[in-house]
Chains A and B, each alone.
Chain A
């Protein structure tokens, strides 16, 4: 198709939107409600361009044969500015956090006129893991679309008409009162920060000041691949060593690695799988590392409770071990220990308040909160030297590292299960079919005379899709966020799948560089079983490392 773009004659693909064509030709157009993975609803009307002299939104309009498109005229700039002004009256630059997308757009469009006064007066909703402030909301609708189309959770939608239109859970309830799974994808996709996590930062800082308490921090596998982004490092930089140094400088007494908890999870889960296959118990076995998925299961698929592994999630396992095994070893009363988990997830905040788990982990910080803490302490993160985790509970394997990316739990479990069952070494440690960037991945592996069919799903919609064929498999991994924990609701805000791919690549790189790459080879895991728990699946292991689920109402 021939068009004229800013005076230049071009031959373009007529199926592309004007926005994409402009991007291909290096022309930048400000967008707010547009997101690559979502349907362009053209709500914000910022991406206006002139098509044959008429203003149209470039995100949703396709060119016409021989049309004239202009992207920068006085009229266009004025209209964009007016829409910006209408959308966020009274929002000044200094009130807006640095990490939000809108800031860049405000700077790009320019917000110098403030002719209208703020008019919204909504109550801020403070939940158990998410805070919603509708006064900041610009009704872009990205959270609604992510919740209903990508996650298929349908926890929030628009209500009312005209200037009263606002995002709300069903019947104006709170998120805790509807079938919200706390995945936090709404937060990741919010360009203005109207949805944020419930911060535990203040409580952690108070704990750090308390000399009587030993504050122990544990970091999830996916943090190391994303934390650097908050300090303007390249996406996908591995910052394991720097992160440990920074945590030490922040004043944490011991720094442990959730990777070890992941290794423990693998030992228990793999033992459970073998047991279930041997004694013909309920299959498929479904993993339970993802608290958002567990919540989704309890609300929407309670009939799956017998299929669920009873293993706690890795950080809850390690938390329990810190307060029992480590406390005994170090000779500290477990009451004097405060366990802080750094997680890529907002659902973990909810998880730590579950009555059956709340003793294990005291506070949960997201990656972003950790970034804030480090910035508050004026630590020059990018130039920190590397250091190691505290060895008592800080040695981990590559299997633990890949827990942070979708398919990782499955891969780690298969590595261990294969070797434990067949007593043979794996020829190829890596399962390349699980490394792909896909919503649903599957495969099969032969263990002696039994073929194990496995599948992994990430993202709520894919989970629902996979559950339709769940009986075709023996072992299933579920992750509620797209891409797994690297795309979690607690991670630095990201805009496209490229970021996720780079983060995942970083984790696979860390795995490939490690000498120990299978959970059962971890010397600390061996020691814990020898000295404390006996063997995987033992009574004592059940007491510390396993949990139970219950049916929850959606309303």
Chain B
């Protein structure tokens, strides 16, 4: 795997040799984009934070990997944390950040002690005067959202804030703050160091009804049949879901997995966590269990998400019970759309996606429950 290549602080040495500007230029040339799901060019994010004149900048490594079916960050922290810390140090060098944070998912606490040791070891080796603190989340899914992470680190209620101002301009304690995903930061030294580094490789977290779930690395545009051939599905696959938030779409064996194809089905690839659903499952059930997830994980700040998510569950339950009419189906669609359009943060903006795509791509499953007059 490309992402497991070790760099032994050579990336940091190269960055120091190139200087800030040179490092940013090289990252741009190599085409490194954010691996958290938004695919924002990493060098641009850093440049934005650098454009603010200030005496202090912060770096946060987002290790609050809460999306159901995603476990690539856990895999990286377990298997290549030295490169990750090196990536953090390179970012700290470019941004002049004296304090860096790793916001670690509460459920990953078992990784903490080992990670702390590695931080100490790498820091000692690098001789950089930077502090890297591990901040543990309290188990909220919403704290993977960047503004919520900032609130949480500052000791406040983990709720997203309105953007703009973006964290790169005004983040932790009002200072410019860069948030990067674990995978992105791990890629930084590798991208700098290796000329054959391929920007199109992505980590896929595969789970669901397959024989071999786990983390795989493929190039974007990989054939569906390749994926299926490797992970060995248990029987015929009906659908695949991109985490909870990305939506759900049918499995086409002949297709290639690329952003264009996924967007074509109104889905969002996110961090490429694929949950496979077998043909015996009904999509309404899948949607219901996902909707339930959101009724616990919405932060409760804004009305549409707080009140809407629980109503979505109510409606889905009604549909499943066979009591629903076409009117309810219409309301379900309207409500899911409404939450997406009027919510404050990314959680709200995507929490109806699985229902909308489910209704669009698996009409039959929904129609089957509707009461006939």
What are 8 inter-chain pairs, A to B, with CB distance below 8 A? A45-B302, A82-B338, A86-B307, A86-B311, A161-B140, A162-B300, A162-B310, A165-B306
A160 to B298, CA, bound (A): 10
Which chain B residues numbered 311 to 328 have a C-beta less than 8 Å away from chain A? Answer: 311, 314
Q: Does A83 lie within 8 Å of B304, measured CB to CB?
A: yes
Cβ–Cβ < 8 Å partners of A116 in chain B: 311, 314
The segment from A36-44, A215-223, A419-427 found at the interface with B is A36-44
Q: Does B302 lie within 8 Å of A86, measured CB to CB?
A: no
Q: Does B300 lie within 8 Å of A79, measured CB to CB?
A: no
Instruction: For the complex of A and B, list the 6 residue pairs with the smallest distance between their C-beta atoms, beginning with the closest.
Output: A165-B300, A86-B307, A162-B298, A163-B310, A60-B162, A87-B303
**Max count, chain A CB within 10 A of own CB: residue among B295, B303, B311, B314:** B303
Task: Answer whether residue A139 sits at the interface, using C-beta atoms and an 8 A cutoff.
Answer: yes
Task: Answer whether residue A531 sits at the interface, using C-beta atoms and an 8 A cutoff.
Answer: no
Task: Answer whether residue A158 sits at the interface, using C-beta atoms and an 8 A cutoff.
Answer: yes
Task: Answer whether residue A57 sits at the interface, using C-beta atoms and an 8 A cutoff.
Answer: yes
Q: Does A79 lie within 8 Å of B342, measured CB to CB?
A: yes
- Closest residue on chain A to residue B295 by CB atoms: A162
A48 to B164, CA, bound (A): 16
Cβ–Cβ < 8 Å partners of A87 in chain B: 303, 307
Which listed residue, A40, A42, A89, A158, touches B300 by the CB 8 Å rule?
Answer: A158
Q: Give A2 Cβ to nearest chain B Cβ, in Å.
A: 19
Contact flags B112-152 to A (C-beta < 8 A → 1, else 0): 00000000000000000000000000001010000000000
A395 to B198, CA, bound (A): 90
Which listed residue, A42, A89, A157, touches B344 by the CB 8 Å rule?
Answer: A42
Cβ–Cβ < 8 Å partners of B157 in chain A: 157-158
The count of A-to-B residue pairs whose CB atoms sit within 8 angstroms is 86
A48 to B338, CA, bound (A): 12
Contact flags A156-180 to B (C-beta < 8 A → 1, else 0): 0110111111000000000000000
A79 to B304, CA, bound (A): 10
Q: Quick one: given A45-B304, A45-B342, A83-B303, are A161 and B309 in contact (CB under 8 Å)?
A: no
Task: Answer whether residue A115 sits at the interface, using C-beta atoms and an 8 A cutoff.
Answer: yes
Which listed residue, B162, B306, B308, B334, touches A139 by the CB 8 Å rule?
Answer: B306
Cβ–Cβ < 8 Å partners of A62 in chain B: 164
Which listed residue, B300, B311, B342, touches A83 by the CB 8 Å rule?
Answer: B342
* Given A89-B307, A115-B331, A162-B299, 19 more pairs with CB closer than 8 A: A42-B302, A45-B303, A45-B304, A45-B344, A57-B162, A57-B344, A79-B342, A82-B334, A83-B342, A87-B303, A138-B303, A139-B303, A157-B157, A161-B299, A162-B296, A162-B298, A163-B307, A164-B300, A165-B301
- Closest residue on chain A to residue B331 by CB atoms: A115
Interface majority SS on A: helix, strand, loop or mixed?
A: loop
Cβ–Cβ < 8 Å partners of B343 in chain A: 45
Which chain A residues numbered 200 to 249 have a C-beta less than 8 Å away from chain B? Answer: none
A157 to B300, CA, bound (A): 13
Interface majority SS on B: helix, strand, loop or mixed?
A: helix
Cβ–Cβ < 8 Å partners of B342 in chain A: 45, 48, 55, 79, 82-83
Task: Answer whether residue B297 sits at the interface, using C-beta atoms and an 8 A cutoff.
Answer: yes
Q: Does A161 lie within 8 Å of B297, measured CB to CB?
A: yes
Cβ–Cβ < 8 Å partners of A139 in chain B: 300, 303, 306
**Max count, chain B CB within 10 A of own CB: residue among A55, A60, A163:** A163
Cβ–Cβ < 8 Å partners of A161 in chain B: 140, 142, 296-300
Task: Answer whether residue B341 sits at the interface, using C-beta atoms and an 8 A cutoff.
Answer: yes
Contact flags B275-293 to A (C-beta < 8 A → 1, else 0): 0000000000000000000
Which chain A residues numbered 87 to 138 have a C-beta less than 8 Å away from chain B? Answer: 87, 89, 115-116, 119, 138
Listed in ascending order, the chain A residues whose CB lies under 8 Å from chain B are 40-45, 48, 55, 57, 60-62, 79, 82-83, 86-87, 89, 115-116, 119, 138-139, 157-158, 160-165
Q: Does B298 lie within 8 Å of A163, measured CB to CB?
A: yes
**Max count, chain B CB within 10 A of own CB: residue among A61, A86, A157, A164:** A86
Listed in ascending order, the chain B residues whose CB lies under 8 Å from chain A are 140, 142, 157, 162, 164, 294-304, 306-311, 314, 331, 334-335, 338, 341-344
Q: Does A86 lie within 8 Å of B304, measured CB to CB?
A: yes
Q: Give B162 Cβ to nearest chain A Cβ, in Å.
A: 5
Q: Does B309 lie within 8 Å of A162, measured CB to CB?
A: yes
A164 to B140, CA, bound (A): 14
Q: Give B109 Cβ to nearest chain A Cβ, in Å.
A: 20
Q: Give B301 Cβ to nearest chain A Cβ, in Å.
A: 6
Cβ–Cβ < 8 Å partners of A163 in chain B: 295, 298, 300, 306-307, 309-310
Q: Give B330 Cβ to nearest chain A Cβ, in Å.
A: 11
A164 to B300, CA, bound (A): 8
Cβ–Cβ < 8 Å partners of B294 in chain A: 162
A378 to B338, CA, bound (A): 46
Cβ–Cβ < 8 Å partners of B299 in chain A: 161-162, 165
Cβ–Cβ < 8 Å partners of B303 in chain A: 43-45, 83, 86-87, 138-139
Cβ–Cβ < 8 Å partners of B304 in chain A: 45, 82-83, 86
Q: Give A135 Cβ to nearest chain B Cβ, in Å.
A: 14
Cβ–Cβ < 8 Å partners of A61 in chain B: 162
A165 to B310, CA, bound (A): 12
A181 to B304, CA, bound (A): 33
- Closest residue on chain B to residue A164 by CB atoms: B300
Q: Give A59 Cβ to nearest chain B Cβ, in Å.
A: 9
Q: Does A119 lie within 8 Å of B310, measured CB to CB?
A: yes
A60 to B160, CA, bound (A): 13
A43 to B298, CA, bound (A): 13
A88 to B164, CA, bound (A): 29
Q: Give A57 Cβ to nearest chain B Cβ, in Å.
A: 7
Cβ–Cβ < 8 Å partners of B310 in chain A: 119, 162-163
A87 to B344, CA, bound (A): 15
Q: Give A553 Cβ to nearest chain B Cβ, in Å.
A: 24
Q: Quick one: given A139-B306, A161-B140, A162-B295, are A43 and B311 in contact (CB under 8 Å)?
A: no
